[in-house]
Amino acid sequence: MSELSAPPASATQQPSLSELLRAFVIVSVSGFGGALPWARRMIVEQKRWMTAEEFNEAFALSQFLPGPNLVNFSVVFGLRFGGARGAAVALAGLMGPPLVIITVLAALYARYGDLEALGRILAGIAAAAAGLLIAVVAKMAEPMFVTRWNSGPVIAIAAFVGVAIMHWPLPWVFVGLAPVSIAFAWFKR
Amino acid sequence: MNDSPLTTLFGYFALLSLFAVGGANAAIPEMHRIAVDVMHWMTDRQFADMFAIAQVSPGPNIIIVTLIGYHVAGIAGAAVATGAMCGPTCLLAFLVARTWDRFKDAHWRISIQAGLVPVSLGLIGASAFVLARAADNNVYAGAITAVTAVVAFATRLNPLWIFLAGGLLGLSGWL
């Protein structure tokens, strides 16, 4: 980005394909309730494949793209260190073990989902999971309401009402609101 | 061609994959709308159960699509739903990652990113609403949701402990 072409203090290690696979397998099975902190710990602190800044940039790209963030991140990360094969390997490492586990759980649920005790346990977990999501929303909303007036809360509330109350299809709500919100961001400075 | 549940699964989740800004949690209401309201694949309660299972199993939360797919069409359904949810966005990530650095500081890119934040906030808020409605069938379940929200907002407690407590309370027969 600068005319001084001295390379930045970049991560020194280059993972091999098998290291890449191992790392994402470990991240995938450690990540209860969101694997991002685990991915960060592994890549930045333990293996030093990326600096904190490089990690943030790669993750910003993953959030910028639609779809599951960590899945996107595995592709972005794998691509950088191993090309197309790296991307495939990282994705396979991230999704492989959870897919096996969840398929077993799905089969168990199909068979025992009617058991009363299991139903009660899941009801308790689901109630807690809903609360957890409310906390996530509150944390995300905090900065939006402490800065000076902006379009953010209006857009967020409109998206909420459209999807949760009116039950409009997500693509319509997105196409209706995203351009408006982006335009506000564009002209804000 | 349109009658196969696999085709339907693929079509819905591939489209959803491209509009889910904010990740798995932002996609929950649309999944709920399709699976419960439009296609009648499952009840509200079953959807809440599947969200609970996806939360307590390791890996990305998007894994709930695997459960939905399995419920609809067995192993093949699980594979198709997961592939549809991850495929288009992975392809996009693959293509964009190569040019991303060039646009890192571009005004249009920063605007898009900033503009999408409130949209995904609203969608995740809608997820919380939809899930709370599906899960909170009585005042005790509502209390678990409320207490969890406060605890998770105010502390950095590992969510697994919260799920454990919720599961035990459920098992004890209060819900």
Q: Please check whether residue B89 lies inside any domain of the structure.
A: yes
Measured between alpha carbons, how far is B33 from A173 in angstroms, rounded to an integer? 14
Q: Is pLDDT above 50 for A108?
A: yes
Q: Please check whether residue B105 lies inside any domain of the structure.
A: yes
Q: Please check whether residue B62 lies inside any domain of the structure.
A: yes
User: DSSP states of A102-154 as a string?
Assistant: HHHHHHHHHHHTT-HHHHHHHHHHHHHHHHHHHHHHHHHHHHHHHSSS-SHHH
More confident residue, A117 or B59: A117
User: B87 in contact with A at a CB cutoff of 8 Å?
Assistant: no
Please name which of B123, B133, B116, B117 lies closest in space to residue B29, comparing C-alpha atoms. B123
Q: Please check whether residue B87 lies inside any domain of the structure.
A: yes
Among the partner-chain residues A62, A125, A159, the one whose CB lies closest to the CB of B166 is A125
The complex scores an ipTM of: 0.88
Residues from chain A contacting residue B169 (CB–CB below 8 Å): 124
| This prediction's pTM | 0.86
pLDDT at A30: 77
Copy the structure tokens of residue A45: 């602190």
Q: Please check whether residue B141 lies inside any domain of the structure.
A: no
CB of B90 closer than 8 Å to CB of A92: no
User: DSSP states of chain B as a string?
Assistant: --S-HHHHHHHHHHHHHHH-TT-HHHHHHHHHIIIIIIS--S-HHHHHHHHHHHHHSSS-GGGHHHHHHHHHHHHHHHHHHHHHHHHHHHHHHHHHHTTGGGGTT-HHHHHHHHHHHHHHHHHHHHHHHHHHHHH--SHHHHHHHHHHHHHHHH----HHHHHHHHHHHHHTT--
Residues from chain A contacting residue B97 (CB–CB below 8 Å): 61, 75-76, 79-80
Q: Name the residue of chain B whose CA is nearest to A74's CA.
A: B90
Copy the structure tokens of residue A126: 């689901």
pLDDT at A56: 82
pLDDT at B1: 46
pLDDT at A8: 44
Q: Per residue in A35-44, pLDDT tens?
A: 677 788 888 8
Q: In degrees, to the nearest 5, what angle opens at C-alpha A140 toward C-alphas A37 and B141?
A: 90
Q: Please check whether residue B27 lies inside any domain of the structure.
A: yes
Domain boundaries, position B93: 5-135
Contact B19 A95 (CB under 8 A): no
Q: Please check whether residue B156 lies inside any domain of the structure.
A: no
Residues from chain A contacting residue B115 (CB–CB below 8 Å): 178, 181-186
Copy the structure tokens of residue A77: 């990360």
Residues from chain A contacting residue B25 (CB–CB below 8 Å): 133, 136
More confident residue, B90 or A33: B90
Among the partner-chain residues A62, A71, A178, the one whose CB lies closest to the CB of B62 is A71
Contact A178 B116 (CB under 8 A): yes
Q: Name the residue of chain B whose CA is nearest to A180's CA.
A: B115
Domain boundaries, chain A: 1-114, 141-189
pLDDT at A33: 55
Q: Per residue in B111-135, pLDDT tens?
A: 888 888 889 889 989 999 999 998 8
A15-26 average pLDDT score: 91
User: B129 in contact with A at a CB cutoff of 8 Å?
Assistant: yes
Lowest model confidence (mean pLDDT) among A127-131, B50-54, B78-82, B94-98: B94-98
Q: Please check whether residue B160 lies inside any domain of the structure.
A: no
What's the structural domain count of chain B?
Answer: 1
- CB atoms < 10 A from the CB of B119, how many? 26
Residues from chain A contacting residue B27 (CB–CB below 8 Å): 170
Q: Is pLDDT above 80 for A150?
A: no
* Min Cα separation B28/chain A (Å): 10
Contact A164 B57 (CB under 8 A): no
Among the partner-chain residues B51, B123, B145, the one whose CB lies closest to the CB of A159 is B123
